Structure 1
Amino acid sequence: MAKKNAFYAQSGGVTSVINATACGLIETARRYPDLINNVYAGHNGIIGALTEDLIDTSAEDSATIAALKHTPGGAFGSCRYKLKDLESNRAEYERLIEVFQAHDIGYFFYNGGGDSQDTAYKVSQISEKMGYPITCIGIPKTIDNDLPFTDACPGFGSVAKYVAISTKEAALDIQSMCKSSTKVFILEVMGRHAGWIAAAGGLAAEKAGDPPHLILFPETAFDETKFLAKVDEAVKQHGYCVIVASEGTSHADGSLISASTTVVDAFGHQQLGGIAPVLTKLIKDNLGYKYHYAVSDYLQRAARHISSKVDVDQAYAVGKAAVEFAVNGKNAVMPVIQRDSQAPYQWSIGEACLSQVANQEKMMPADFITEDGFGITQAARDYLEPLIQGEDYPPYKDGMPVYARLKMVPVAKKLNTDFKV
């Protein structure tokens, strides 16, 4: 196998551990100097490849690369950009080939969720359809935990830990003031079609009756009458009510409780958010209870200080495995996490074909949601609990975490033409 450069890029919404994957990939690539020359990172994802905006990771010393493991965000910049079909926009693919050839890139690693795996799969077809040999490996990442074939998605375990702890801590706050103040608290969490993150809030409960008293899942049709009755029951029984609501919660007809009908992202998805104020208005208008709400938003995916050690380890492992797959001749695959044992929890790395992963979503199983539709079952708890185990704190200085600062040295451009995206 001829020695080539590698291209790595981060895509979609970032996580607190996506840089741990970058760390695993770059450190592992440096162990194969006879096969991989340099790892070039795309500045802002696949856009960096199209615009020939590449970052030379060889300019970073080993200590800085190691520090990526405890640094949140996307160190090289991420993007929401979906490659079109080869037949409808050949220019994009011709541009990729032009850039890859100019920089002697023979390995392509794309780190992202479902839409990103679609991009990875499309790039994997370049070799066959356009005559340019490139080894393409997709790398899983999404806080939504909705990629198929992998037991868990790197990024999810840490968000689950954040949401569970935040739910528990906020509930103690509400409980302490409910006699004379707030009766209802809503935590709005991410989750377009799958309720994995909302389900994690259920881990805050230690026994029956503990908060959260309601969880709203995208998989369960929202029933306003049942919802209000459940809220009222919780307040009367416990003095307060804590709710974890997924932003993707929908009515029986599939319409989202809260979504912009005009604003869409680059993948064509409606921009979500805002379910909490809709729910609190319902509660205020029908029950009259005083309320507060919080939107976890970017905080849930940026909170590296509270990341799950299991999640950090798995994020690093898929980056490492991606390189090992590539140098061993595998192509158009994605490393996945396999649950080998529940008690004790043990896991290993397997693989899935990109053609089967692209554009697929893994929903919450029906037996993970209680019969009334407002809670998680023991089966869900058994699945979720191992993923939030362990602490992996970043180093601190003067009371603040110390994160990696990259030099971001650009690779000299070799092409004279610009490409607009």
Structure 2
Amino acid sequence: MERKNLIVGQSGGPTAAINSSLAGVYIGAKELGADKVYGMRYGIEGLLKEKIIDLDDTLDCELNIELLKRTPSSYLGSCRYKLPEVKEGDEVYKKIFEVLDNYNIGIFIYIGGNDSMDTIKKLSDYAKINGSKIRFVGVPKTVDNDLPVTDHTPGYGSAAKYIATCISEIVRDSNVYDLKSVTFVEIMGRNAGWLTAAAALAKNNLNDGPDFILLPEIGLDLKHFIKILSDKMQTKGNIVVAVSEGIKDTKGHHISEDECNVDAFGHKMLSGTATFLAKRIKNELGVKTRAVEINTLQRAAAHLQSRTDIDEAFNIGFLGVKAGIDGDSGVMMNFERLENAPYLSVVKKCDISLVANIEKKVPREWISEDGFYVNEHFIQYAKPLIMGELSNIVCDGIQSHIKSL
């Protein structure tokens, strides 16, 4: 293609694997013939302000590439900026394409989740309307694992590994004293319970897992759950409950919904689910309760990266570049699983319209009949994604990251 420059951005929430995808994009672009590889600082919002860097300036040696793969969060910075609906001549789109033209961009790669894929769709639609030959490719990223089409998303495996490890340790901690207690561990997940379901991976031949897993896919009858909890405590003194931040009651209302605060995409802010449940159970059952909120720790725990996750994140970034060079636009790269044991997946691509603004939830058949746990279907799906570890690059006893921009 005539334009041989590529630009890449990151958007949405950080993960422990998103920078491995960035490394894959960079290496793919260099190996497949791009002249220049630019990075958007703070996603599409930064592009509008022309905050653009030449990645050759920072990714100038093999060590920095390896450090980047091991660095959590979004190296380029992120945003939660919603593009307006596509209208020919819209000033926002004119500005974006003017900047891209000024930098002689032929391929635009955006690494992100659901809302980021909406950005790719709108930009590729605008390009078609206006005859632009720039190619727009989405590379998936989200710890929430809620993108459709793809078997799973980069970032999920590492977050799941971290959650399972934390749950195992919390279970150990909860059993120290001979008393009745309930510990609620709040895990991210607004409408889809993939992260909370990962708590089940803590249980194996050597470690114990949670006693209950509460997912947003199942409406919670709180009175019934309190009865189940009380019955359980007749035979087991210390209970650990993994709970999604976004669990709803049987009427579909989030337990912790904040009606006043919303983000740029109109999502109501959620918090305090574990605290709410801990207070309620303490009052109802008169037992010691604790609320543990893992919060942002689960998104960027690079010390517990899954090797499978990091390798796949790199590969899907690399192949996203190849898709753009091959002429694809308005697509998202995705994983298709071929085998569970031994685990095998391949990278494919799909039309972005099949992904943007659509959520994938934990299938009902992967959840226990009573709705308080997950079954073997989920375990077989998720376990391969947390396998393997990366060797740490350490400085002064601490895992090292690439120097911040």
Shorter chain as normaliser: what TM range?
over 0.9
1:395 aligns with 2:393: yes
Which residue of 2 is the match for residue 28 of structure 1?
28
Look up the SS of the partner of 1:176 in the other structure: coil
Q: CA deviation at 1:211?
A: 3.5
Look up the SS of the partner of 1:79 in the other structure: coil
Question: How far apart, CA to CA, are the structure 2 residues paired with 1:187 and 1:114?
Answer: 26
Aligned length: 402
Aligned ranges for residues 240-259 of structure 1 at < 5 Å?
240-259=238-257
Q: What stretches of structure 1 of length at least 5 have no aligned partner?
A: 409-421
Q: TM-score, normalised by structure 2?
A: 0.96
Question: How far apart, CA to CA, are the structure 1 residues paired with 2:392 and 2:84?
Answer: 39
Question: How far apart, CA to CA, are the structure 2 residues paired with 1:194 and 1:174?
Answer: 27
Q: CA deviation at 1:210?
A: 4.7
Aligned partner of 2:346: which letter? Answer: S
Q: Is the contact between residue 88 and residue 126 of structure 2 (CA under 8 Å) also seen in structure 1?
A: no
Which residue of 2 is the match for residue 357 of structure 1?
355
Question: How far apart, CA to CA, are the structure 2 residues paired with 1:321 and 1:363?
Answer: 26
Question: How far apart, CA to CA, are the structure 1 residues paired with 2:395 and 2:233?
Answer: 43
Which residue of 2 is the match for residue 7 of structure 1?
7
Q: CA deviation at 1:322?
A: 0.4
374, 378, 403: which one aligns with 1:376: 374
Counterparts in 2 of 1:249 and 1:89: CA distance versus 1, 3 Å: farther
Q: Is the contact between residue 193 and residue 248 of structure 1 (CA under 8 Å) also seen in structure 2?
A: yes
Aligned partner of 1:160: which letter? Answer: A
Look up the SS of the partner of 2:38 in the other structure: strand
Deviations 1:118-138 (CA, angstroms, capped at 9, x unpaired): 101111122211232210100
Deviations 1:184-210 (CA, angstroms, capped at 9, x unpaired): 111100001100011000112237x95
Q: Is the contact between residue 70 and residue 393 of structure 1 (CA under 8 Å) also seen in structure 2?
A: no
Runs of 4+ in structure 1 over 6 Å off: none
Q: Is the contact between residue 9 and residue 76 of structure 1 (CA under 8 Å) also seen in structure 2?
A: yes
Q: Is the contact between residue 113 and residue 141 of structure 2 (CA under 8 Å) also seen in structure 1?
A: yes
Which residue of 2 is the match for residue 131 of structure 1?
131
Q: TM-score, normalised by structure 1?
A: 0.93
Aligned ranges for residues 1-400 of structure 1 at < 5 Å?
1-33=1-33, 36-60=34-58, 61-63=60-62, 64-87=64-87, 90-177=90-177, 179-180=178-179, 183-206=181-204, 210-400=208-398
Question: How far apart, CA to CA, are the structure 1 residues paired with 2:381 and 2:370?
Answer: 20
Q: Percent identity?
A: 39
Look up the SS of the partner of 1:85 in the other structure: coil
Q: What stretches of structure 2 of length at least 5 have no aligned partner?
A: none
Question: How far apart, CA to CA, are the structure 1 residues paired with 2:29 and 2:61?
Answer: 12
Question: How far apart, CA to CA, are the structure 2 residues paired with 1:344 and 1:226?
Answer: 40
Q: CA deviation at 1:88?
A: 9.3
Q: Is the contact between residue 211 and residue 241 of structure 1 (CA under 8 Å) also seen in structure 2?
A: no
Deviations 1:388-415 (CA, angstroms, capped at 9, x unpaired): 1111143112210111115x4xxxxxxx
Counterparts in 2 of 1:88 and 1:280: CA distance versus 1, 3 Å: farther
Aligned partner of 2:174: which letter? Answer: I
Aligned partner of 2:209: which letter? Answer: P
Q: CA deviation at 1:233?
A: 2.4
Question: How far apart, CA to CA, are the structure 1 residues paired with 2:74 and 2:21?
Answer: 10
Aligned partner of 1:317: which letter? Answer: N
Deviations 1:344-389 (CA, angstroms, capped at 9, x unpaired): 1111111111011111111110111001100011111111111111
Aligned partner of 1:349: which letter? Answer: V
Q: CA deviation at 1:48?
A: 1.5
Q: CA deviation at 1:89?
A: 8.4
